[in-house]
Structure 1
Amino acid sequence: MARFRANMSSDLKTNLVRVMNWSELQIEPVPRAAYVLLCIYITTVTVLALSANGLFIVTTFRSKNLQQPIHYVLRNLAVADFCSALLGGSVNITTNAKGYFYLGQTFCYLEGFLVGTFGIVNLTSICILSFSRYLVICKPFGTYVPSRKHAKYAMALAWIWALLWNTPQLIFGGYDLEGIGTNCGPVWNTKRVYIRVYLICFMICCFFGTVVTLAICYTKILMTIRETRKASSIRSKNSEKAERDVTKMVVNIMVAFLICWTPYVIVALAAVSNPGMRMNQYAGTIPVYFAKSSTIYNPIIYTMMNGKIRKELFRVFKKNYGGEDMDTSYESNRPRTNYMRGQSSC
């Protein structure tokens, strides 16, 4: 056993030396157990993300009850998460199994660019969802009725926005290994001033912009719902339950988003502000893999916790096993309060 461990350590160091020929980072080997734990973790995340997002994507194509504009945007979010898990997850599983990034610099750039693009599509789609709900419920510009045309424009905007922010990094900034060297991401610790300015703008527009949008939109939605309920002469249990459900959804969205993304942004900001800083490998690794869990919480919050979508998922599943006809409508039997009609299709 001791001889096996010695050989394994020697092989790992040899592989890391190979990687350092093209990487700007000085990667030091860590205990094999660290790679095993990360491999198990990312395998679990990938399987769950592919299953949850894949099921929702299939359901939206097969169910006539999920063809509203809001469902187009949700599908766009699910596609981005599915692609991120499929590419980034599968790569990270194999690299952690081997103990180093064995795919080379070209694939490192490709993975970093594509996963980064999917991530920004993810964040932009979340912003679009919150803003759409704000327009429908709060009516700041009068009655707004979302259309499929609007949804398609919004989906295109999400991908264009993501490409606009990730293409400069691909051309000018580059990508490198992060943490213990099994994942690729932007070179945050660059000493080039114009790249550092770009990275700061990137985080302000893509992360902090998302946080501000979510906070404003959902705060306005909660305030509108409460004011409508107080102004109503009839206070039913359904209206109170609807308010509690919306409050719970808002809290879940904000908490999950901040928990997943804040550690990574803090580490990235630290690297950008102090390029010469030598960061602990685990401190550079854990936030990266923590952010990848967003591909799981998105389908849970936006689909599994939504009563209508959850029922449609069950209907599609039942149909595949000879259950009831999935085109049967149940919306007519669903109790709704007046002020929630605007988001009944969400």
Structure 2
Amino acid sequence: MDVITNSTNMTENNSTNNTNQCPEAEEWEWLHTIQPAYILAISVLGILGNVFVLLVFCLHKKACTVAEIYLSNLAAADLLLVSCLPFWAVNVANGFDWPFGSLLCRLVSLGIKMNAYCSIYFVVLVSMDRYVALVHAMSHGRMRRPSYAKLSCLLVWSFGLLLGTPTLLFRAVEWFQEFQVNACYLNYPSTQVGLTFDVMLTVFGFAIPVSVISYCTCQIMQALNNQAMERFNAEHTERKATMLVLAVLLAFLICWVPFHVVTALDVLMRAEVISGCLLSNNLEISNQVFNYLAFFNSVLNPVLYVIVGKNFRKKVKETFGQLSMRKKMTTGSQQSHLSSTLKTIA
């Protein structure tokens, strides 16, 4: 996921465009104007929302369910992303002159790339959990253990770090005389290497997980609509949890599918399977627009937890109740101690 705007002609995509001598689209000026404010808004809202979600899951007296373990890790992945975005807001506002040095260029880019991989696989895990809970509860219910869920999350984080390693290795800060900027960009050894990693993103970050999500979602919907299976009426909690998961799945697909489709088309263009200046400019603009639509998903998830998640709202009330009770107990203890001290002095 390359959030450096293509108008600076410093990425692999732009090498192709320069070769074809395509004129720059006029929409870039408009995009450059709104990007910093939009990114900062996403960052602030995303940090507040996802920190709130994580605090509720961590401070609640009851242990998290399997689905909540996955959703809390999804919130952590979203928090990682929105914590990295302010650096890019400054970068864009600074005319794409990267002021933070080479190390942060690599680490911030790694954080954004890890979110692209980890978030979709946490969505895969939560969709598989709902699939097992509703479709195979009797035969595979034992698989839904918190210990297994935590191990799965650890594997996803490791997988995201592994697939993000090329970003860590090939990101660099370099002076571009033509633009008078020190740009943080992906400096692949060759176009072929860049194409290989973009194909990996499309396959492992989109095609495979979306196929799994689509299958699980279809099976879940079929199970929910199957009136003959009376146990679903009894398992009201499972149904409520599933409605939240379905909302998260739908929001994720709406926000991320356009970005991955444009990325796939861009790979085809750089491989010279498709071509054309109009298509090239449209893909560059679409890549930026859909990139930031994907980022919006990190803000949308906490909102969905509150609006759709009845169990989550219940957890919020109980958590605030716990904190209020602790505060009262602490205050009462302090007053009792103070009274005892005053009596001793008297």
TM-score over 0.5 (shorter chain)? yes
Q: How many angstroms does 1:114 deviate by?
A: 1.9
Q: 1:284 aligns with which of 281, 284, 287?
A: 287
Q: 1:129 aligns with which of 126, 131, 140?
A: 126
> For each residue in 1:292-343, what CA deviation from the matched residue of structure 2 results, as whole angstroms up to 9, or x when unmatched?
1121122233565211111212333455566999xxxxxxxxxxxxxxxxxx
**Secondary structure of the corresponding residue to residue 102 of structure 1:** coil
Partner Cα distance (1:155, 1:245) in 2: 19
Partner Cα distance (2:146, 2:243) in 1: 27
- Indicate how the Cα distance of structure 1 residues 184 and 308 shifts in structure 2: closer, same or farther if over 3 A, else same: farther
Q: How many angstroms does 1:150 deviate by?
A: 0.6
5 Å matches for 1:301-316? 301-302=304-305, 304-316=307-319
Alignment-derived partner of residue 160 in structure 1: 158
> For each residue in 1:216-251, what CA deviation from the matched residue of structure 2 results, as whole angstroms up to 9, or x when unmatched?
112112222332x3344x997x9899879956853x
Q: How many angstroms does 1:274 deviate by?
A: 2.0
Alignment-derived partner of residue 145 in structure 2: 147
- Indicate how the Cα distance of structure 1 residues 244 and 189 shifts in structure 2: closer, same or farther if over 3 A, else same: farther
Partner Cα distance (1:124, 1:235) in 2: 27
Alignment-derived partner of residue 203 in structure 2: 204
Percentage of matched positions with identical amino acids: 18
- Is the Cα contact below 8 Å between 2:124 and 2:213 reproduced in 1? yes
Alignment-derived partner of residue 215 in structure 1: 214
- Indicate how the Cα distance of structure 1 residues 174 and 154 shifts in structure 2: closer, same or farther if over 3 A, else same: same
Aligned residue pairs: how many? 298
- Is the Cα contact below 8 Å between 2:126 and 2:245 reproduced in 1? no
Q: Which amino acid aligns with 1:150?
A: Y
Partner Cα distance (2:318, 2:183) in 1: 39
5 Å matches for 1:23-42? 25=14, 34-42=31-39
Alignment-derived partner of residue 264 in structure 2: 269
- Is the Cα contact below 8 Å between 1:315 and 1:323 reproduced in 2? no
Q: Which amino acid aligns with 1:200?
A: V
Q: 2:42 aligns with which of 45, 48, 52?
A: 45
Alignment-derived partner of residue 88 in structure 2: 92
Unaligned runs of 5+ in 1: 1-15, 326-346
- Indicate how the Cα distance of structure 1 residues 235 and 93 shifts in structure 2: closer, same or farther if over 3 A, else same: closer
Unaligned runs of 5+ in 2: 19-23, 329-346
RMSD of the TM alignment (CA)? 4.1
> For each residue in 1:37-89, what CA deviation from the matched residue of structure 2 results, as whole angstroms up to 9, or x when unmatched?
222222221122111110111111110235223322222111111111011x2
- Is the Cα contact below 8 Å between 1:56 and 1:303 reproduced in 2? no
> For each residue in 1:6-29, what CA deviation from the matched residue of structure 2 results, as whole angstroms up to 9, or x when unmatched?
xxxxxxxxxx9xx88x86658979
> For each residue in 1:190-234, what CA deviation from the matched residue of structure 2 results, as whole angstroms up to 9, or x when unmatched?
621x5423432331122122211111112112222332x3344x9
- Is the Cα contact below 8 Å between 2:127 and 2:245 reproduced in 1? no
What TM-score results when the alignment is normalised by the length of structure 1?
A: 0.71
Partner Cα distance (1:188, 1:257) in 2: 29
Partner Cα distance (2:322, 2:36) in 1: 35
- Indicate how the Cα distance of structure 1 residues 322 and 41 shifts in structure 2: closer, same or farther if over 3 A, else same: farther
**Secondary structure of the corresponding residue to residue 215 of structure 1:** helix
Further displaced range: 276-285 or 215-224:
276-285
> For each residue in 1:146-191, what CA deviation from the matched residue of structure 2 results, as whole angstroms up to 9, or x when unmatched?
22211211111111111222214443x65799xx999977679962
- Is the Cα contact below 8 Å between 2:117 and 2:205 reproduced in 1? yes
- Is the Cα contact below 8 Å between 1:92 and 1:183 reproduced in 2? no
Partner Cα distance (1:135, 1:169) in 2: 35
- Is the Cα contact below 8 Å between 2:47 and 2:83 reproduced in 1? yes
- Is the Cα contact below 8 Å between 1:59 and 1:313 reproduced in 2? yes
What TM-score results when the alignment is normalised by the length of structure 2?
A: 0.71
